[in-house]
Amino acid sequence: MKNKAITSRDEDFAKWYTYVVRAARLADYSNVKGCIVFEPNGYAIWEKMQSILDKKFKQLGHQNVYMPVLIPESLLKKEGELIEGFAPEGAWVTQGGNKTLEERMMIRPTSETLFSDYYASKVSSYRDLPLLYNQWANVMRWEKETRPFLRTREFLWQEGHTIHETAAEAEAETLQMLNVYKDFFENVLAIPVITGKKTEKEKFAGAEYTCTVEALMYNGVSLQSATSHYFGQKFSKAYGIQFLNRENKLENVYQTSWGCTTRMIGGLIMVHSDDNGLVLPPRIAPRQVAIVPIGTDETVMTLADEYNKKLLDADITSFVDKTERSPGFKFAEHEVNGIPVRIEIGMRDLAENMITLARRDTREKIRISKDCDIVAEVQKLMDEIQNNLFNCAKKRAEEKTYTAFNMAEVEKIMNTQPGFVKAMWCGDEACELKMKEIRGTKSRCILENEAPIADKCVCCGKEAKHLVVWGIQY
Amino acid sequence: MKNKAITSRDEDFAKWYTYVVRAARLADYSNVKGCIVFEPNGYAIWEKMQSILDKKFKQLGHQNVYMPVLIPESLLKKEGELIEGFAPEGAWVTQGGNKTLEERMMIRPTSETLFSDYYASKVSSYRDLPLLYNQWANVMRWEKETRPFLRTREFLWQEGHTIHETAAEAEAETLQMLNVYKDFFENVLAIPVITGKKTEKEKFAGAEYTCTVEALMYNGVSLQSATSHYFGQKFSKAYGIQFLNRENKLENVYQTSWGCTTRMIGGLIMVHSDDNGLVLPPRIAPRQVAIVPIGTDETVMTLADEYNKKLLDADITSFVDKTERSPGFKFAEHEVNGIPVRIEIGMRDLAENMITLARRDTREKIRISKDCDIVAEVQKLMDEIQNNLFNCAKKRAEEKTYTAFNMAEVEKIMNTQPGFVKAMWCGDEACELKMKEIRGTKSRCILENEAPIADKCVCCGKEAKHLVVWGIQY
């Protein structure tokens, strides 16, 4: 097993990315253009993401439902901005059961329309509110250029859709879910993020406003990683979701939606992985510990099994690699697969009453007594790895976060050492379009809680309204 | 809250079924023809089914993957029988991103084609085998007549797809998974089942043979509840899945697939529920215990919270209903929703140091000391309910399982008191078609392990080859 990527991430990031996806067997290309096969190692990461987020959503009172995968065109058209936004990316079913359909149907690109249509039939009084629903589903957007996990025609996601009695409640929900994502990225995925509102140009079609979670990849490119939308009454007016309020008057509900996708797996790769393959923070790694016996002595095997049992009992996902391959081959494989901790047990170490722990992030080896409290040692090491990965990513993001006061500065940064650029903006879309000419630089989000760094717009020099983070995007 | 169905299950079973689905808020009709909305109470049952089965699949060495939702027509056509079987039910995508596609694609009705195509690129040696993959996914079949859970254009399911080095191994897998389903139905869903092979006419398109799990509903109608297929080398030849065997010769792999669907929720309803709404076996109930405080006295509320904590700590899904509605309303609601155990706590009972447990299956009330070991009492009661539901269903199925020796007998049974009819069959499809004229009676499966009950075919009177179970089907 050879680990080293043909190209290092510093030389050709795109090529290196593909190497990691394939070498760690996360996904494969399929014969369905623009769609990938989620292989066991990749799908297991998604399952772990789902289980952690799903638990959190439910703790906050959300319930899971499932809506149809097809949306009739007429239903889509009720809210004008949404259909306008998604029509160019639609996959349309026009034939069913050997007949041409009277009305074509789009494979859901997102499900605001179906949820709104459903809610309209369910709500009559303020007593019925809020309704806090979520669904885990596949969605489809007919992208032209695709890349595994980051942009594929079909992807997997969750979409929360909630309706509320008041605007204040719905806005609080929008913010709450944004913070759920932020917390998940920072504390589980070990990815530091910036959060804020999107500009009018970049917001979700049909939303009053969109909040976003933005992360910086190893190569300085930005990744929109999760979004939380406040719809106000836009959909509830278009779809007639009305209720009798406390004054006994008919009112339209206030609505939100929020989602995150399998794109997060791409983010994990691009933030933490290295030239030896995948690196996973322990809290999201489907398999946290690989125990590799060196040789087949009974003492070795017994100790391996004993450790394994103790770790599994402590809810640490561990396994003993008893396959018939050399220890070196196994080390390399578990490394490329990003298993955070490896325990090596061999007679030479045991003669000195020792075993070896190897950490994937730094590739450091640590010899400790075989009589240690293995659960405590592994837990401590996993915490260190988790913290180290977050701190490295944070340090890098900080180093790649710049300020700019004119277009020449923006241009210089984006062309040489791209990253997050903080710069003032007047609020005009024309200036966003100008910025886009620089390697596709887009506003990531508005920083509402940070003090302005200048008076003038970085682009036109007119009076600035907002401090904005800009970046080249995936 | 009024519970009683407008029509009892003995009067109008179909109407009663719809009543339960709607009253227990399991699903709602959607504005997408033939598709339903899985509402929280219904989806939660599916989630529990998934978690139990998924754990079992993984214990047996299966891994989850995810394949694309669309299948190009050319890929579908490689195996002739499959496309012939599914083409009439296909939902076809013909337009993507505002363009007419060069080749139309079917929304997956099942994924043998995609798995086979993928496997062909993954396997080269016997050392790569077996591959034991499963996926949880939505599928679509353009049905004409639909009914919630039982037959809908889109449904949710799992499909296991495995490839093996030898026919014996693949056949063992087919049987193993059939038994996993049988065990799940009997020990979790409390539904007794018959298992066996389908006839040639009724087997899955493209399979060498199909094993099936068949259950009898309250009204004597049969439900095909899960299937496990042995493909032999049919797909591996069509898709070129070859490996170098131990003799270093190229050979085609031996393949299986097996699946179960959201239809099982329909089965649960039709076997256990009654005129008061949904009845769920405790092992599949998403919410097992509802604690209803009568009045708002602090003593009552404290005890309710105390019980709730103890039950939750013991992994029993319990909740205290603190909503502002009358106890009677709450009783009725929890009953219609099929919550297996209700704990009623009120001052009158407490004055005598007592509380009341109500079981959903028999609607019996049991007074016990408030100082009891509540976890042990509830667990004991849940076990009783689980066993009682299975035994009732088993007794009913036995009462509705008949033998027949000529067509007049079959006709009489199916027209008056339908159920499973055991009868001998010559093996000719012509006789199956004759049987179908009697209210659509179809062969459910061949009973290979039971002794023949006669020499002659029930239909044509020629020499009989198999003992077959027949039934009217959903």
**Do A110 and A139 fall within a single domain?**
yes
> Residue A1's pLDDT is what?
46
> H-helix or E-strand containing A463?
none
pLDDT at position B5 is 64
Q: DSSP assignment of B367-407, as one string? A: EEETTS-HHHHHHHHHHHHHHHHHHHHHHHHHHTEEE-SSH
- Judge: A70–B117 Cβ closer than 8 Å, yes or no: no
For the cut 80, the answer to whether the pLDDT of residue B105 exceeds it is yes
Backbone φ and ψ of B75, nearest 5°: -70, -40
Query: Can you read off the two tokens belonging to residue B56?
Result: 């079992």
The pLDDT score that the predictor gives to residue B248 is 97
Mean predicted confidence (pLDDT) in A313-340: 96
B69–A138 C-beta distance less than 8 A: yes
B176 and B116 housed in the same domain: yes
Query: Are B63 and A72 inside 8 Å of each other by CB?
Result: no
In whole numbers, what is the pLDDT of chain B averaged over residues? 96
Among A272, A297, A312, the domain boundary falls at A272
| Structural domain contains residue B278 | no
Which neighbouring-strand residues pair with A210? A229
Share of chain A above pLDDT 70, in %: 99
| Residues A4/A16, Cβ–Cβ less than 8 Å | no
DSSP secondary structure code for residue B223 in this structure:
E
pLDDT score at A4? 66
Q: Is A260 helix (H, G, I), strand (E, B) or coil?
A: strand
Residues of A in contact with B43 (CB under 8 A): 63-66
**Shared-domain flag, residues A254 and A298:** no
- Residue A124 confidence (pLDDT) above 80: yes
Asked if residue A374 belongs to a domain, the reply is yes
Which CATH number do you get for residue B347? 3.40.50.800
Radius of gyration of chain B (CA): 25
pLDDT in tens, B253-286: 999 999 999 999 999 999 999 999 999 999 999 9
Of residues A88 and A93, the one with the higher pLDDT is A93
Same domain, A339 and A409: no
Q: Do residues A429 and A303 both lie within one domain?
A: no
Mean pLDDT of A284-289: 98
Q: Does one domain contain both A364 and A414?
A: no
The CA distance from B224 to B432, in Å, is: 17
Closest by Cβ to A93, choosing from B39, B92, B138: B92
Q: What is the mean pLDDT of residues A40-62?
A: 98
**Which tens digits make up the pLDDT trace of A224-254?**
999 999 999 999 999 999 999 999 999 999 9
Q: What confidence category does residue B302 fall into, taking pLDDT thresholds of 50, 70 and 90?
A: very high
* A6 assigned to some structural domain: no
Give me the total of CB pairs closer than 8 Å, taking one residue from chain A and one from chain B: 159
Q: A319: exposed, middle or buried (C-beta count within 10 Å: 0-12, 13-18, 19+)?
A: middle
Show residues of chain B in contact with A36, CB under 8 Å.
68
Quick: pLDDT tens for B160-204: 999 999 999 999 999 999 999 999 999 999 999 999 999 999 999
Residue A79's pLDDT band, with cuts at 50, 70 and 90, is confident
| Residue A428, domain extent | 401-471
Q: What is the pLDDT of residue A3?
A: 58
ipTM, interface predicted TM-score of the complex: 0.96
**Are B236 and B323 in a shared domain?**
no
- Helix (H), strand (E) at residue B128: none
Q: Is residue B161 part of a domain?
A: yes
Domain end residue (candidates: B356, B384, B412): B384
- Assess whether B263 and B318 both reside in one domain: no
DSSP string, B227-250: EEEEEETHHHHHTT-EEE-TTS-E
Q: Return the number of other C-beta atoms located less than 10 Å from residue A356's C-beta.
A: 17
B405 & B380 share domain: no
* B421 belongs to a structural domain: yes
Q: Given the structure tokens 């997060």, which residue do they identify?
A: A264
pLDDT of B1 = 46
CB A199 within 8 A of CB A468: yes
Check residue B224 and give its pLDDT. Answer: 96
Give B23's pLDDT tier (boundaries 50, 70, 90): very high
Which among B37, B69, B88 has the least Cβ separation from residue A118? B37
Sign of the torsion formed by the C-alpha atoms of A370, A376, A382 and A387: negative
Instruction: Give the C-alpha separation, A431 to A409, whole Å.
Output: 15
Residue closest to A232 by CA, chosen among A250, A216, A209: A209
Band (B81; pLDDT cuts 50, 70, 90): confident
Judge contact between B209 and B198, C-beta under 8 A: yes
Neighbours of B427 (CB within 10 A): 16
Question: Do B98 and B198 belong together in one domain?
Answer: yes
CATH number of the domain within which A467 lies:
3.30.110.30
**For residue range B327-368, what is the model confidence (pLDDT) as tens digits?**
999 999 999 999 999 999 999 999 999 999 999 999 999 999
Please check whether residue A130 lies inside any domain of the structure. yes
Residues B75 and B105 in one domain: yes
Nearest to B37 among A43, A65, A89 (CB): A65
* B4 within domain boundaries: no
Distance from CA of B64 to the nearest CA of A (A): 6
CB contact under 8 A, B93 and A88: no
Interstrand relation of B289-294 and B250-252 (parallel, antiparallel or unpaired): unpaired
User: Cβ separation of A66 and B31 shorter than 8 Å?
Assistant: no
pLDDT, tens only, A377-411: 999 999 999 999 999 999 999 999 999 999 999 99
pLDDT band at B79 (very low <50, low <70, confident <90, very high): confident
> Quick one: A117 and A193 in the same domain?
yes
How far apart are the CA of B454 and the nearest CA of chain A, in angstroms?
42
- Residue B202 CB coordination number (10 Å): 18
Neighbours of A6 (CB within 10 A): 11
pLDDT tier, A453 (very low <50, low <70, confident <90, very high otherwise): very high
Give me the CATH number covering residue B244: 3.30.930.10
**Residue A203 domain-assigned (yes or no):** yes
| Whether the predicted pLDDT of A5 surpasses 70 | no
What are the helix (H) ranges across A243-291?
A: 263-272
How many residues can be counted in chain A? 474
* Token pair for A445: 């989000």
The token duo for B314 is 């013991």
Q: Looking at the predicted structure, is the pLDDT value of residue B223 above 70?
A: yes
**Residue (of B463, B462, B464) closest to B424 by Cα position:** B464
SS3 A387: helix
Q: What per-residue confidence (pLDDT) applies to B282? A: 98
Residue that the structure tokens 């007594």 belong to: A369
Number of domains in chain B: 3
Mean pLDDT of A125-153: 96
Sign of CA dihedral A202, A205, A206, A211: negative
- Between B35, B43, B67, which is nearest A68 by CB? B35
pLDDT at B2 over 90: no
Best of B41, B49, B65, B157 to disrupt the A interface (most A CBs within 10 Å) is B65
Interval B376-381 mean pLDDT? 98
Q: How far is A455 from chain B (nearest CA, A)?
A: 43
Pairing of strands B99-107, B209-216: unpaired
- Among candidate residues B272, B306, B337, the one where a domain is terminated: B272
**Quick check: pTM over 0.90?**
yes
Q: Give, rounded to a whole angstrom, the gap between the first and last alpha carbons of chain B.
A: 31
